[in-house]
Amino acid sequence: MARYGMLINTKKCIGCYACRTACQRQNGLDPTDSFIRFEEREVGEYPSVSVEHVPLQCMHCEDAPCASVCPTGAAHIGPDGIVEVDQGRCIGCLYCMAACPYQVRNRNEKTGAVDKCRFCNVSNYTSGTEMCSCVTACPTGARIFGDLDDPDCELVKEIAATHAAPIAGDLTKSKVYYVR
């Protein structure tokens, strides 16, 4: 069993939203729906000021609040630790959206069901299938996908080298790591 995770290097992120657009295309989303949201803020003090772009998406938490509150079992932790939403089970109560501290879940206005990042990079990672994912779309290489349990993979080496950490500490045992 793999334990898939991601690294997002916000120091490389230029805020172009290519990842979001690629994700919308990949997952057939409407322009108003997205699985990646951005937080942007000024850091530093004049004259040493910059804008930090932080792309947020499903953190595929090991301690996933969405899965623990979902009354129908639609939100659940699937194989390889990927947090999934079974669209055929979701009643659209939005409890998971309230429980997610990262606020990265999206309600599909047409179906009323909730959806979010599916870690579609897995197919790319395991079978080499070329796809338009957030990782390949990023022009600055800010994103790395991989297996957190594989010490030889680029993701693990980069997390160790950059001292990357989840965005909110150990809040939910997130598997998306950030360099900030």
Beta strands in the chain (DSSP E): 4-9, 37-45, 48-56, 75-77, 83-85, 106-107, 114-115, 143-147, 165-166, 176-179
Question: How many residues make contact with another protein (CB under 8 A)?
Answer: 36
CB atoms near residue 89 (< 10 Å): 13
Our CA dihedral for 67, 69, 72, 73, rounded to 10 degrees, sits at 20
Whole-number Cα distances in Å, 91 to 30, 139, 168: 20, 38, 29
Binding residue for another protein, selected from 83, 134, 155, 167, defined by CB under 8 A = 167
Report the C-alpha gap between 180 and 177 in whole angstroms.
10
Binding residue for another protein, selected from 15, 44, 71, 141, defined by CB under 8 A = 71
Report the C-alpha gap between 158 and 78 in whole angstroms.
26
Binding residue for another protein, selected from 112, 123, 139, 141, defined by CB under 8 A = 112
How near is the Cβ of 106 to another protein at its closest, in Å? 11
How near is the Cβ of 73 to another protein at its closest, in Å? 4
How near is the Cβ of 55 to another protein at its closest, in Å? 11
Q: Is 72 in the site for another protein (CB under 8 A)?
A: yes
* 29-68 binders of another protein (CB under 8 A): 39-41, 52, 54, 56, 65, 68
CB atoms near residue 145 (< 10 Å): 22
How near is the Cβ of 57 to another protein at its closest, in Å? 12
> What is the contact mask toward another protein in residues 118 to 157, using x (rule: CB under 8 A)?
----------------------------------------
